[in-house]
Structure 1
Amino acid sequence: MKIHIHPMIALIDEEIDIKITELIPGGKVKITASMHFPWAASETYESFAWFTADVDGQVDLSKQKPNTGTYDYIDNMGLIASLKKVSSKGENIADNLSIDNSMFIDIVCEYGEEKKCVRLERMFKLPEVKRQQINKEFKGELFYTEKSLKKTIILLGGSDGSRNGLSFLAGPLASRGFNVLVVGYFNEEGLPEKLEEIPLEYFENVFSWIKENPLTYANDIYIHGTSKGGELALLLASKYPAISKVAVSAPHAYCFQALNGLMSGRNVSSWSYKGKSLPFIPVDNNIFYHHQRDCLERNIPFGFTSTYKKSVEKAKNKEEARIKIENAHADLLLIAGHKDNVWNTYDACLEIMDILRKENYKYTYTLLDYKNLGHSLPVPYVIPLSETLNVQMGTGSFTCGGTLKGNSNGQLDSWKKTLEFFIS
């Protein structure tokens, strides 16, 4: 038995090819993958698959479906995508996130009495990527290399307000030559505590800094936003013509009520402009409680999509709360999953595309939609999909939606096209 894996060392978002040769045709091979995060060593994840060697005595994961295993479709990255937690000492993998150290994955092949192991190194960033904290003008961090493409991408995160998770996007992007500016806008020292009435003018400081900093100086500003950050990215593009490219993963077409307002009852927008709360769609908690109770009774995972969908449908101020994206001066890339279970992003993206067509929008606009994609990270192979497909919450479980195959394929394809979008 001979194991062929390429590349052995790669960025976290890169695909690998796995092939086993010098087998007897019809022979059975078990391949196991095992890994842990460098910041949470006690949490172990594993996956496995059994294969039958072909007439040439080979197993090629890019061409063969497993006989059985943790995934059941043809995919050279199936073992990575289907990693599941198998042992734990209670560490929270969302704490102490770091891209400074590589992640290692052990691939073990068992064939009869023969057993071989190969270790893969998965880098979150290349060694030449540098980092610079910004605390005076705004809260942010710049990821860059000495030989950059002279293109700067602002990264905007979602409803948790954490900048740490955005480093998983920043590392691979900066490793490909982009200047990447991760910007915090709430839930850290010196910023609003809650995601409510965030002033859009705050980002004017960010735009000025980019244009004045010798590392990032450029006439064009790019933005990538995810989820609630996608809502923000589209809103900024509609207000500021300096933004020339916007890629959004799981965005929405409307401004919504402040997230903390959903529980506290504070009836304000997530965003403000010129000292006023922007028009917003109120979110009806009763819709969610009814949906959650129904899911618990049927023993199926719950989500928030029906809450947002019905809240938009019943709103009497839809046009007022709609993000006027037709006023933007930017090329747009929208990414949506039909099975998103956080909010109805696919409906929203269809609405955005329809408006752009009707308004004869003169810049490019593209929708990437995937039938079995849920509400997942925009970058593939970072956090195991098992962590988001179903999460225990109280007596029930929450799901971001989609299938293992749908999320894995959608993540990879949309990420590749996002890179192409920003490079072009």
Structure 2
Amino acid sequence: MTVTKEESMSEFKIKSDNLQADCEMRISITHLPANTQICIKATVSDYYCVNASMELDHNVEWSAQATFLSDGNGSISLEKDPALFGSYTGVCPMGLFFRLKPVHPRKKALVDCFEEVPYFESYRVCLQAFEQTRCLAETEFKRYYQPPTVKGEVVYGLGLQGRLFFGEGCVNAPAIIVVSGSEGRIEKAQNIAQLLSGYGFVTLAVCYFGMQGVSEFLERIPLEIVEEAISILKKRKEVNPDRIGIYGRSKGAEFALLSASRFPDLKCVVANSPSAWVMEGIKKWKPSKSSSWTEHAKEVPYTQFSMTNYLKEKLMNRKLEYHSEESVIPVEQINGSVLVLAAYSDEIWPAFSSAVSISERLRLSGFVLPYHKYIYPNSGHMMTVAFQPNSRSPKASWYGVMKESEHSWKKTVAFFKEEL
């Protein structure tokens, strides 16, 4: 198809509170031909998606498009007008962003050296409006994971590798430790940490396994890694030592809850898709026959993997709850507020029953600090940040998944703002 670019009065108009990647944008186009089908295409580059495969080459372009009918004045508003067909249909202001897909996906080998892992401060967006093959309007801009006023710095400890993010001139600010899940490494944690840094927090993304310098596998990880992260933050002039929290998702949520139950300096914890119990470690995607965590070099009691229950889950097509009582995380010992986020249909482990168990344990213990629980009907295990594409739950409503990601992320940010 040959695309032509002709002189046109058509113009994109974009409104947003800011250009941070987790904020909604209001996009409209004016001075189009009236009552005409117009295809709007979004192409992004230098893009990192926390929900995508770890091996996806970050240099690939992502794209989405949808066709709309301009009104009698020659205008289209993505906030009000329905997409007739394309990457999505219906009214969805951020549909072009949530429905992005890699144009030519290809894999890239992951680097083992921590310092060689790239991180992306922003990504580039190109929006185009077409009448058939004629390009009537085009605009380009950046969306920021990490605002231009935020600096990134590599930090090391005895058992810790991390990336610290803080605003220019930042002094005595609240801080958040970020740990991700069973994929290991630093990429997902740092993307979440970058976005949180845009709200005025100092954030420390921690790599606790899967790279050179730390444990190779998710087994026998020292809880002292979080203790060391706390110590690093407390020594920074940018950080208020009395206002430190922790965010964990998936296996990182288990890590975060367990750490918060041990280290009273953590004043709040967000557990996204958590386990209420310490589970067996993972070695080369097999049970490690050891605990995931250690404390003072001693294994924390854990629930062993059960092949019988695993086969039952496959036959019944649902997650079963099985655990040993000694592996229960003593969340009532947490010295801070708690926010738990989970999906009813988590495909990885029983996050829903874990969320219920955590809340009930806090209630029965007479826990006096604030605690909140949000359960979502559409999202699966990968319920992360707002407006990043998520196709992990193909049978669920994509719109429902998008709105739940947005809601859970906003609740996360608001919780940290209120409790730190």
Flag whether TM exceeds 0.5 (same fold).
yes
Provide the C-alpha distance between the structure 2 equivalents of 1:357 and 1:106, rounded to a whole number of angstroms.
50
Task: Assess, with a 3 A threshold, how the Cα gap between structure 1 residues 241 and 78 changes in structure 2: closer, same or farther.
Answer: same
Secondary structure at the counterpart of residue 420 of structure 1:
helix
8 Å Cα contact 2:177/2:204 also seen in 1: yes
> Which digits, 9 at most, give the CA deviation of each residue in 1:131-156, with x for residues without a partner?
22222443222111233361110111
Identify the residue that residue 327 of structure 1 maps to in structure 2: 333
Work out whether 1:92 is the aligned partner of 2:108: yes
8 Å Cα contact 2:121/2:147 also seen in 1: no
Secondary structure at the counterpart of residue 233 of structure 2:
helix
CA-CA distance at 1:287 after TM superposition:
4.4
Provide the C-alpha distance between the structure 2 equivalents of 1:323 and 1:417, rounded to a whole number of angstroms.
23
Task: Assess, with a 3 A threshold, how the Cα gap between structure 1 residues 133 and 24 changes in structure 2: closer, same or farther.
Answer: closer
Task: Assess, with a 3 A threshold, how the Cα gap between structure 1 residues 237 and 101 changes in structure 2: closer, same or farther.
Answer: closer
Identify the residue that residue 341 of structure 1 maps to in structure 2: 347
Provide the C-alpha distance between the structure 2 equivalents of 1:17 and 1:349, rounded to a whole number of angstroms.
35
Q: How does 1:145-184 map to 2 (within 5 A)?
A: 145-148=167-170, 150-184=173-207
Identify the residue that residue 137 of structure 2 maps to in structure 1: 116
CA-CA distance at 1:291 after TM superposition:
5.6
Secondary structure at the counterpart of residue 11 of structure 1:
coil
Secondary structure at the counterpart of residue 301 of structure 2:
coil
CA-CA distance at 1:404 after TM superposition:
2.1
CA-CA distance at 1:207 after TM superposition:
2.2
Identify the residue that residue 36 of structure 2 maps to in structure 1: 27
CA-CA distance at 1:116 after TM superposition:
1.6
Q: 2:289 aligns with which of 264, 267, 271?
A: 267
Provide the C-alpha distance between the structure 2 equivalents of 1:99 and 1:118, rounded to a whole number of angstroms.
25
8 Å Cα contact 1:99/1:124 also seen in 2: no
- Letter of the structure 1 residue corresponding to residue 142 of structure 2: E
Secondary structure at the counterpart of residue 151 of structure 1:
strand
Identify the residue that residue 230 of structure 2 maps to in structure 1: 207
Task: Assess, with a 3 A threshold, how the Cα gap between structure 1 residues 242 and 266 changes in structure 2: closer, same or farther.
Answer: same
Q: CA RMSD in A?
A: 2.8
Work out whether 1:423 is the aligned partner of 2:417: yes
Identify the residue that residue 368 of structure 1 maps to in structure 2: 374
8 Å Cα contact 1:261/1:267 also seen in 2: no
Q: How does 1:230-309 map to 2 (within 5 A)?
A: 230-260=253-283, 263=286, 266-288=288-310, 306=318, 309=319
CA-CA distance at 1:273 after TM superposition:
2.0
Secondary structure at the counterpart of residue 289 of structure 2:
coil
Secondary structure at the counterpart of residue 89 of structure 2:
coil
Q: How does 1:28-177 map to 2 (within 5 A)?
A: 28-37=37-46, 40=57, 43-54=60-71, 57-88=74-105, 90-92=106-108, 98-111=118-131, 113=134, 115-137=136-158, 138-148=160-170, 150-177=173-200
Provide the C-alpha distance between the structure 2 equivalents of 1:128 and 1:206, rounded to a whole number of angstroms.
23
- Letter of the structure 1 residue corresponding to residue 399 of structure 2: K
CA-CA distance at 1:101 after TM superposition:
4.8
- Letter of the structure 1 residue corresponding to residue 365 of structure 2: E
> Which digits, 9 at most, give the CA deviation of each residue in 1:157-207, with x for residues without a partner?
111221122221122222322111122222233322221122223332222
8 Å Cα contact 2:247/2:270 also seen in 1: yes
Task: Assess, with a 3 A threshold, how the Cα gap between structure 1 residues 94 and 375 changes in structure 2: closer, same or farther.
Answer: farther
8 Å Cα contact 2:181/2:252 also seen in 1: yes
CA-CA distance at 1:86 after TM superposition:
2.5
Q: 2:13 aligns with which of 4, 11, 16?
A: 4
Task: Assess, with a 3 A threshold, how the Cα gap between structure 1 residues 114 and 243 changes in structure 2: closer, same or farther.
Answer: closer
8 Å Cα contact 2:247/2:256 also seen in 1: yes
CA-CA distance at 1:60 after TM superposition:
1.8
Secondary structure at the counterpart of residue 242 of structure 2:
coil
8 Å Cα contact 2:27/2:93 also seen in 1: yes
Provide the C-alpha distance between the structure 2 equivalents of 1:100 and 1:275, rounded to a whole number of angstroms.
36
8 Å Cα contact 1:261/1:268 also seen in 2: no
Task: Assess, with a 3 A threshold, how the Cα gap between structure 1 residues 99 and 402 changes in structure 2: closer, same or farther.
Answer: farther
Give unpaired runs (5+ residues) of structure 1. Answer: 296-304, 391-400
Task: Assess, with a 3 A threshold, how the Cα gap between structure 1 residues 181 and 41 changes in structure 2: closer, same or farther.
Answer: closer
8 Å Cα contact 1:370/1:406 also seen in 2: no
Identify the residue that residue 361 of structure 2 maps to in structure 1: 355
Secondary structure at the counterpart of residue 409 of structure 1:
helix
Provide the C-alpha distance between the structure 2 equivalents of 1:169 and 1:211, rounded to a whole number of angstroms.
21
- Letter of the structure 1 residue corresponding to residue 245 of structure 2: Y
Provide the C-alpha distance between the structure 2 equivalents of 1:151 and 1:74, rounded to a whole number of angstroms.
38
Identify the residue that residue 385 of structure 1 maps to in structure 2: 390
Task: Assess, with a 3 A threshold, how the Cα gap between structure 1 residues 8 and 358 changes in structure 2: closer, same or farther.
Answer: closer
CA-CA distance at 1:228 after TM superposition:
0.3
Provide the C-alpha distance between the structure 1 equivalents of 2:285 and 2:139, rounded to a whole number of angstroms.
49
8 Å Cα contact 1:30/1:110 also seen in 2: yes
8 Å Cα contact 1:109/1:117 also seen in 2: yes
Task: Assess, with a 3 A threshold, how the Cα gap between structure 1 residues 71 and 339 changes in structure 2: closer, same or farther.
Answer: farther
Provide the C-alpha distance between the structure 1 equivalents of 2:16 and 2:44, rounded to a whole number of angstroms.
17
Query: Structure 2 length as normaliser, TM-score?
Result: 0.85
Q: 2:398 aligns with which of 396, 404, 412?
A: 404
Provide the C-alpha distance between the structure 1 equivalents of 2:59 and 2:231, rounded to a whole number of angstroms.
44
Secondary structure at the counterpart of residue 408 of structure 1:
helix
Provide the C-alpha distance between the structure 2 equivalents of 1:259 and 1:241, rounded to a whole number of angstroms.
28
- Letter of the structure 2 residue corresponding to residue 412 of structure 1: E
8 Å Cα contact 1:73/1:405 also seen in 2: no
CA-CA distance at 1:7 after TM superposition:
4.1
Count, aligned residues: 394
Provide the C-alpha distance between the structure 2 equivalents of 1:41 and 1:122, rounded to a whole number of angstroms.
16
Query: Structure 1 length as normaliser, TM-score?
Result: 0.84
Identify the residue that residue 395 of structure 1 maps to in structure 2: none
> Which digits, 9 at most, give the CA deviation of each residue in 1:358-398, with x for residues without a partner?
2221011111222111122522344x324x456xxxxxxxx
Secondary structure at the counterpart of residue 87 of structure 1:
coil
Task: Assess, with a 3 A threshold, how the Cα gap between structure 1 residues 358 and 42 changes in structure 2: closer, same or farther.
Answer: closer
